[in-house]
Amino acid sequence: MHPTQHRRPYRYYDLVMAAFVCVLLCSNLIGAAKAAQVELPVLGPVIFSGGVLFFPISYIFGDILTEVYGYGRDRRVVWAGFAALAFASFMAWAVLALPPAPDDFNRGYQVHLEGVFGNTWRIVLGSMIAFWCGSFANSYVLARMKVATEGRWLWSRTIGSTLVGEAVDSGLFYFIAFWGIWPDGQVMQVALAQYVLKTSWEVVMTPVTYRVVHFLKRREQEDWYDRHTDFNPFRLKV
């Protein structure tokens, strides 16, 4: 493809970016601290974070972005998501640090806010590092596999890249956030359960991913191959 195609406008790229950042923020802020338990076949009772039901959708968006627009454009979206997480964490800290008004409602409301948004620094740090590393691992693997397979077997790229990205994400987050706080066995058990649930989402959503990818490729007239891409994650230029 001609280099100028990097700079041509796309009809849906900004919308996919906005959806990615929205899912990322909501899955980290709404329900992330709630531990739920369900009974699963073979596995039995499984405890997981409420946010895990929705966080894997951000990886599906990452697959779609890399598959259609290339690693370089997905890299910009990952940095946008990282900046949004950083700002949300700072805003939560600043709002909680403000003293509440001296009435019963606001004193009670402060307690509820602290319960929802008062994450420890290890959880916040683990979440941001895990997201950044996992997202880039996911995008890199998919981009490399697309070139290696010459664009065939999309399912192998979406599932394969998620297996790698989610392994990095789950491993980093739970070990940074809870190692030395929870029993060692529990950390590994919960991390494994989250990994299985997240990757299972990717498999279940594969037909939807196919439809969205094919729609975007057709409407955008784009199907990017990262044959000469600089994969430096700190480079923002496409």
Going from N- to C-terminal start, the domains of the chain cover 11-30+51-220
Q: At what angle do helices 13-29 and 56-69 cross, to 10 degrees?
A: 160
Query: pLDDT 10s per residue in the chain (238 long)?
Result: 444 445 678 999 999 999 999 999 888 877 666 767 788 787 778 777 777 788 889 999 999 999 999 999 999 999 999 999 999 889 989 999 999 999 999 999 999 888 777 776 788 888 899 999 999 999 999 999 999 999 999 999 999 999 999 999 988 988 888 888 778 887 888 888 889 888 998 899 999 999 999 999 999 999 999 999 999 999 988 8
Buried b (16+ CB within 10 A) or exposed e, 193-224: bbbbbbbebbeebbeebeebbeebbeebebbb
Answer positive or negative: Cα dihedral of 209, 214, 215, 219. Answer: positive
Residue 58 in contact with residue 209, Cβ under 8 Å? no
Other beta carbons within 10 Å of 25: 16
- C-alpha 102: how far from its chain's center? 39
Joined together, the tokens standing for residue 233 give: 């994650």
Residue with tokens 């003293």: 99
Residue with tokens 């906005």: 18
This prediction has a pTM of 0.88
